[in-house]
């Protein structure tokens, strides 16, 4: 699992879940900016943890009835990302995948987490653009999550949650963070971390 902040990507999906342990990488000159990032992480983290808890019944939180393999956990969010990229016609797309523990101990179960970074069209109001993306996705089966009035625009479909928001570290880009179901029982605690990129770059998003 990766946990290093990267200026191009903004933050790793799993860093949201793991109590935001990445903030110490910012230099003193960026501390005002760090405060903004921290607030974003805190808000997103609350939603992500709740998303995880909603994937289980009370008796199956740590033992999902139908576990997902590593490949299936990745495919769950990757397929969802491909649909969003294609339907919304996102440009300049790059993606990174990681796994995130669904508890504070870093133990199984895990969920697949994928971040898509894309270019914002020139001279575009970002809020209006993100709302247009969300509106487009509702025409292909995604449901707009209206529970939260603040923070990223959120969509749900087939157990996957997508957050659409600006990439705080790069004003010319947006991001879609996708979170799968907490059904991967592989123990990833001892996976080799990626020291340079968060999340590790991956994935061909062409359909």
Whether the CB-CB separation of 55 and 179 falls below 8 Å is answered with: no
Which residue would you say has higher pLDDT here, 26 or 83?
83
What is the per-residue pLDDT for 190?
72
Count of domains forming the chain? 1
Residue 54 lies in a domain: no
What is the per-residue pLDDT for 206?
75
What is the per-residue pLDDT for 33?
41
Residue 162 lies in a domain: yes
**What's the whole-number mean pLDDT along residues 164-175?**
94
Q: Is 58's pLDDT higher than 80?
A: no
Residue 170 lies in a domain: yes
Tally Cβ neighbours within 10 Å of residue 162.
26
Full residue range of the structural domain in which residue 131 is found: 64-189
Residue 151 lies in a domain: yes
Render pLDDT for 68-107 as a digit per residue (tens, 0 to 9).
999 999 999 999 999 999 999 999 999 999 999 999 888 8
Q: What is the CATH number of the domain that holds 140?
A: 3.30.310
Judged by DSSP in three states, 156 sits in strand
- Token couple for 152: 């990223």
Which residue would you say has higher pLDDT here, 53 or 124?
124
Whether the CB-CB separation of 162 and 176 falls below 8 Å is answered with: yes
**What's the whole-number mean pLDDT along residues 24-53?**
44
Residues 6+ apart with CB under 8 A from 167: 9, 10, 117, 173, 174, 175
What is the per-residue pLDDT for 173?
97
Residue 129 lies in a domain: yes
Residue 109 lies in a domain: yes
What is the per-residue pLDDT for 109?
94
Distance, CA of 20 to CA of 93 (rounded, Å): 25
What is the per-residue pLDDT for 26?
34
- Partner residues linked to 100 by β-bridges: 111
Q: Which of 29-38, 163-172, 193-202 has the lowest mean pLDDT?
A: 29-38
Judged by DSSP in three states, 150 sits in coil
Residue 25 lies in a domain: no
**What's the whole-number mean pLDDT along residues 140-161?**
91
**What's the whole-number mean pLDDT along residues 61-72?**
83
Alpha carbon of 36 to those of 31, 39, 86, 192: distances in Å? 9, 5, 31, 29
What is the per-residue pLDDT for 25?
36
Residue 17 lies in a domain: no
**What's the whole-number mean pLDDT along residues 47-54?**
49
């Amino acid at each position: 699992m990766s946990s290093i902040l990267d200026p191009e990507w903004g933050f790793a999906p799993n860093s949201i879940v793991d109590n935001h342990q990445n903030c110490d990488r910012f230099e003193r000159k960026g501390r005002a900016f760090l405060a903004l990032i921290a607030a974003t992480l805190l808000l997103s983290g609350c939603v992500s943890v709740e998303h995880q808890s909603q994937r289980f019944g009370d008796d199956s939180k740590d033992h999902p009835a139908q576990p997902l393999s590593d490949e299936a956990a990745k495919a769950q969010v990757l397929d969802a990302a491909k649909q969003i990229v294609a339907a919304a016609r996102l440009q300049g797309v790059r993606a990174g995948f990681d796994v995130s523990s669904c508890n504070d101990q870093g133990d199984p179960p895990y969920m697949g987490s994928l971040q898509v970074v894309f270019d914002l069209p020139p001279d575009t109001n970002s809020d209006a653009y993100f709302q247009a993306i969300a509106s487009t996705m509702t025409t292909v089966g995604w449901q707009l999550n209206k529970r939260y009035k603040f923070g990223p625009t959120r969509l749900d479909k087939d157990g996957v949650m997508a957050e659409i928001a600006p990439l705080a570290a790069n004003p010319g880009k947006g991001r879609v963070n996708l979170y799968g179901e907490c059904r991967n029982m592989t123990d990833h605690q001892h996976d080799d971390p990626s020291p340079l990129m968060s999340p590790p770059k991956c994935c061909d998003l062409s359909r």
